[in-house]
Amino acid sequence: MDIILLGPPGAGKGTQAQRLVDRRGMVQLSTGDMLRAAVKAGTPVGLKAKAVMEAGELVSDAIVSALIGEHLDQSAGKGAIFDGFPRTQHQAEALDILLGERGRALSHVIELGVDEEALVERITGRFTCATCSAPYHDRFKPTKVEGTCDVCGGHEFKRRPDDNEQTVRTRMAEYRAKTAPILPYYEERGLVSRVDGMASVEEVAAQIDRILDSAR
Ligand code: AP5
């Protein structure tokens, strides 16, 4: 089963993808994570992507489609969760070709419906442990002891450079202008289901489970 989680920044795509990895053994393919890894490693792709990501704009279709092509076979036989990809019509068409070449096809596109203002708070408050990557949030999920990771006891934390309010608003504008318009491409094929992304993490997960378990 190959699925897309679609929604604006902070909608919960990464959170729900991780749950599907843990519970169903699917493989998360996040172009954001791939790009951040490339930036950290200082690869040619990372050098090109860094400033674009920090501005909240979209990295080129050619770069992200190539990244997905490189990683897609990791999900063979397990099912892929596309998280943050596709983000443009060109990427959507590239994904169909990449899957088709492997005799695969999308089974679901799940749109996380959200309130953008609430998302700004969700994103600007999030941080992770620099040692074990455990996720936290200033308001919704602070550490039990201030300055100490609940999981590994580490004392260093990090925030994404693109998680400031100005960049988040640019990322949302990019979503409205370039990503939301690809929905009809999938609606025509009867692939789209919507969930309430403002519900609790558990409730969103339950809605997604119902969709994936329903016979199409
Ligand atoms: P990317 O990494 O994909 O970021 P994004 O789409 O902006 O999404 P986020 O990771 O910010 O949010 P999310 O929906 O995964 O939410 P999360 O689960 O983390 O992309 C970053 C950049 O890379 C882009 O701006 C672009 O430059 C580039 N890029 C990436 N892919 C590209 C592509 N295909 N084409 C071109 N450029 C590309 O949750 C957010 C917070 O909310 C967390 O704190 C979480 O704990 C909390 N939360 C989640 N669900 C809930 C809930 N139900 N209730 C309460 N809190 C919740």
DSSP characters over 173-213: HHIIIIIGGGHHHHHTTT-EEEEETTS-HHHHHHHHHHHHH
Our CA dihedral for 172, 178, 184, 187, rounded to 10 degrees, sits at: -60
- Rounded alpha-carbon distances, angstroms, from residue 164 to 26, 49, 53, 102, 156: 31, 18, 12, 39, 19
Is 10 known as a binding-site position? yes
Output the residue whose Cα is nearest ligand 1's atom 50.
Answer: 12
3-state secondary structure of 155: coil
Q: Residue 164's pLDDT is what?
A: 92
Output the residue whose Cα is nearest ligand 1's atom 30.
Answer: 32
Say yes or no to pLDDT of 215 above 70: no
Distance 7 CA to ligand 1 centre (A): 8
Q: Is 28 in the pocket of ligand 1 (CB under 6 A)?
A: no
Q: Is 15 in the pocket of ligand 1 (CB under 6 A)?
A: yes
Predicted structure pTM score: 0.94
Distance 173 CA to ligand 1 centre (A): 14
The share of the chain scoring above pLDDT 90, in percent, equals 96
Pocket test for ligand 1, best of 18, 36, 59, 166 (most atoms within 8 A of CB): 59
Q: Is 8 in the pocket of ligand 1 (CB under 6 A)?
A: no
Say yes or no to pLDDT of 216 above 70: no
Say yes or no to pLDDT of 101 above 70: yes
pLDDT digits (tens, 9 = 90+) for 5-17: 999 999 999 999 9
